[in-house]
Amino acid sequence: MKICRFQDKSSQIRVGLVVDDSTLLDLTPAGISRLHSLLEADDPLVRLNQLAREKLPRLALSEIRLCAPVEQQEVWAAGVTYLRSKTARMEESDFSATAYDKVYAAERPELFFKSPAEKVVATGEPVGIRRDARWNVPEPELALVLNSRGQVVGHTIGNDMSSRDIEGENLLYLPQAKIYRHSCALGPWIEMGATEAMAREWKIKIEIRRNGKNVFAGETSVGRLKRRFEELAGFLFRSQSFPHGAVLLTGTGVVPPDTFTLQERDEIGIEITGIGWLRNPVMLV
């Protein structure tokens, strides 16, 4: 079952239950005005099944605007969790190469802060490439939606936009390579109820179009993620609390060739089978 945040014609942000490719149920008359109450429920699926049986207004997806599926959660990211990410990063960096090698194998994963909720962009909104970087890439990632108890209650699609030249120059520049305006996209909605075993069957696909032509396409499988979801969530919640819950990107397994960099007006499409599509144009920030 898929839940979303959306804006209707009145511009008010509401919560919806997506029923099929073209329709959602507006949960406002059932007293649900925030995702938080669903994510924190003892059994969100039981609650969603009850809501699905209620007589609620049906809206066409074509008539609403989807908002990023985050309210007050911090967005964090795991890194170097796929072999492909480790090798690409070891190639781009001279003196930091061993750091990537070590963290891939270490017990403790790499986790970094990515974005406050209010800076996350939704599907359809532009993601950014830094004007002081010359090598910019998208990172298509499965995102875990965690409640305040650290439980994985849903999944969404994330784009961890990154400046590879800045990161490659010096690993201490990682926050600048990763955190800037429009550097994090999430959406289109949250898929609820899939187990880790189910999610590991999903494919992550990306396509990038420029002037109407495909300039890069790649794919991986969530099954190639080296670490278990609970392991990543467990480390994130160590000596830390998230009263609003958190979103955790799980790392990229698709890296375009070294000759590729994003350009303004490129169109990025990321599909995770089992969730849907996250689509964003690119702008210079």
Residues 67-96 that bind ligand DO4 (CB under 6 A): 77, 79-80, 85, 89
Distance CA 283, CA 285 (A): 6
User: Out of 110, 191, 207, 266, which residue is the one contacting ligand DO4 (CB under 6 A)?
Assistant: 110
- Tell me if residue 5 falls in helix, strand or coil: strand
Residues 162-221 that bind Mg ion (CB under 5 A): none
Distance CA 62, CA 244 (A): 30
Would you say 152 or 184 has its CB closer to ligand DO4?
184
Site string for Mg ion, 122-161 (x = CB under 5 A): -----------------x--------------------x-
User: Out of 252, 253, 254, 268, which residue is the one contacting Mg ion (CB under 5 A)?
Assistant: 252
Distance CA 207, CA 215 (A): 8
Who's near 155: CB < 8 A, 6+ residues apart?
142, 143, 144, 145, 190, 191, 194, 199, 272, 274, 275
Please state the closest distance from residue 142 (CB atom) to ligand DO4, in A. 11
Distance CA 220, CA 140 (A): 10
Cross-strand bridge partners of residue 217: 207
Would you say 42 or 107 has its CB closer to ligand DO4?
107
Please state the closest distance from residue 276 (CB atom) to ligand DO4, in A. 21
Q: Are 97 and 88 in contact (CB under 8 A)?
A: no
Please state the closest distance from residue 161 (CB atom) to Mg ion, in A. 9
Would you say 18 or 255 has its CB closer to ligand DO4?
255
Site size with ligand DO4, rule: CB under 6 A: 11
Partner whose footprint covers residue 85, from Mg ion, ligand DO4, none (CB < 5 to 8 Å by kind): ligand DO4
Q: What are the residue ranges of helices labelled H in 143-265? A: 164-169, 174-178, 196-199, 229-236
Would you say 183 or 252 has its CB closer to Mg ion?
252
Counting contacts by CB under 6 A, is residue 251 touching ligand DO4? yes
For residue 51, give the H/E element and its range. helix 44-53
Residue found under tokens 């939606």: 145
Residues 147-176 that bind ligand DO4 (CB under 6 A): 160, 174
Binding site for ligand DO4 (CB under 6 A): 77, 79-80, 85, 89, 110, 139, 160, 174, 251-252
